[in-house]
Amino acid sequence: MTQALLVIDIQNDFCPGGALAVPGGDGIVPGVNALMPGFSEIILTQDWHPEGHSSFAASHPGKAPFETVEMDYGTQVLWPDHCVQGTGGAAFHPGLNTDRANIVIRKGVNPRIDSYSAFFENDRSTPTGLHGYLGERGIAKVTLVGLALDFCVYHSARDAARLGYGVTVRRDLSRAIDLDGSLAAAEEEMRAAGVTLA
């Protein structure tokens, strides 16, 4: 099989009750688990920030969550502290079937740069290693599910299309933050990039 399932950031902090909860984020877990047997290659991504990460609003005195700042790599949304390494918030949702995963890609590890995409950090040039992993296994198509549709799923899908993969995003198995119209913009850009929204 030349298809992989990318399960994006289904972690406690992105689910109801978490530090950066995506509405209904936990509701996709049963469907994602049910989808897994159809794929021989399953990749989980995990936001894995060190304490005091530069994307946290708390690291910028006078700034509040969801404001923006300019970084060396461009505009960065500032987030509440979330998915801090080793915390319960960074753990995968307890209902997610992690046993089926072939590999976990941790991102956002560099304290100076955020990483939405499963393929690149936010400078869009520093790789996570996922592209090489998929290439070695002859994988040409990827299906994406997870959180959040308009941020990490979107950036991962766009980068996958840019790298030449056939890309499908399962909207029914993803949930969005929808920050100031971010969902509509993300969907439009994904379609323009050749991503199939299923």
- The CA angle 83-141-164, to the nearest 5 degrees, is 90
CA distance 176 to 28: 12
Q: Which residues belong to the active site?
A: 9, 107, 152
Helix axes 182-192, 154-162, angle to 10 degrees: 20
**Cβ within 8 Å of residue 42, ≥6 positions away:** 4, 5, 7, 36, 100, 101, 102
Question: By C-alpha distance, which of 6, 4, 28, 2 is closest to 15?
Answer: 28
CA distance 145 to 180: 22
Burial class (CB in 10 A: 0-12, 13-18, 19+), 68: exposed
CA distance 139 to 151: 24
Question: By C-alpha distance, which of 93, 110, 197, 90 is closest to 150?
Answer: 197
